[in-house]
């Protein structure tokens, strides 16, 4: 079951009440932190995987609203897997898993992931600086963010893309 750890700001945008703390997840692709940020007058949802820090961006204008941004998320994650070289079958399995099971919405309590997300927000803003919002290639921005090295104490510096690859290469994680 997909679990979305919503920040207070994003849950208010979506009008989704969150009261519970995160639960232990069964599938490797289930645990995501979701926040929002603005560029000019435009709002963007940011979803970051709790273990790999893989990050996706979903402009509210593309989705139609904050609540609908989460509806687009499974398809965008499947597309991202294809871009990363995963098979169509693996991408489709991820899409089915995230879209056909009821989602659980809970509080974000892990401050370290929020710190990484804040860093990624600053990077995204600087990456598209000077580009009209309507002309931003969000796929390119997502690819850029997932190639930024992050410092993980146990593993040293690595990118979210490298973490995703090592994490999903383990047997049975997409099932």
- Of 22-31, 107-116, 119-128, 130-139, the range with the lowest mean pLDDT is 22-31
- For residue 45, list its beta bridge partners: 36, 58
141-159 pLDDT, tens digit each: 999 999 999 987 777 789 9
Predicted pLDDT of residue 26: 66
pLDDT of residue 139: 93
Structural domains of the chain, with CATH: 3-168 (3.30.420)
Strand ranges (E), 15-124:
31-39, 42-49, 55-59, 104-107
Instruction: Give per-residue pLDDT as tens, 90-108.
Output: 899 999 988 888 888 888 8
Question: Closest Cα to residue 78, out of 56, 61, 106?
Answer: 56
pLDDT for the residue 170? 55
pTM for this entry: 0.90
Alpha carbon distance 77, 138 (integer Å): 13
Asked if the model's pLDDT at residue 30 lies above 90, the reply is: no
Residues 6 or more apart in contact with residue 137 via CB below 8 angstroms: none
Give CA–CA dist 127/161, Å, rounded. Answer: 18
Q: CB neighbours of 75 closer than 8 A, spacing ≥ 6? A: 95, 99
Q: For residue range 48-89, what is the model confidence (pLDDT) as tens digits?
A: 998 899 999 999 999 999 989 999 999 999 999 999 999 999
What's the rounded Cα separation, in Å, for the pair 165 and 81?
10
């Amino acid at each position: 079951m997909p679990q979305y750890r919503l920040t207070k700001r994003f849950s208010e945008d979506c009008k989704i009440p969150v009261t519970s703390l995160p639960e232990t997840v069964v599938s490797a692709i289930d645990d995501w932190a979701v926040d929002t940020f603005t560029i000019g007058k435009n709002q963007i949802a940011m979803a970051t995987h709790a273990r790999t820090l893989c990050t996706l961006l979903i402009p509210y204008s593309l989705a139609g609203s904050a609540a609908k941004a989460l509806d687009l998320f499974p398809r965008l994650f499947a597309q991202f897997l294809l871009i990363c070289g995963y098979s169509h079958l693996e991408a489709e399995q991820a899409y089915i898993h995230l879209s056909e099971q009821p989602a659980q919405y809970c509080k974000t309590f892990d401050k370290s992931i929020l710190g990484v997300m804040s860093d990624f927000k600053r990077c995204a803003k600087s990456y598209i600086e000077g580009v009209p919002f309507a002309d931003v290639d969000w796929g390119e921005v997502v690819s850029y963010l997932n190639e930024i090295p992050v410092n993980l104490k146990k593993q040293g510096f690595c990118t979210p893309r490298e973490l995703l690859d090592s994490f999903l290469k383990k047997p049975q994680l997409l099932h």
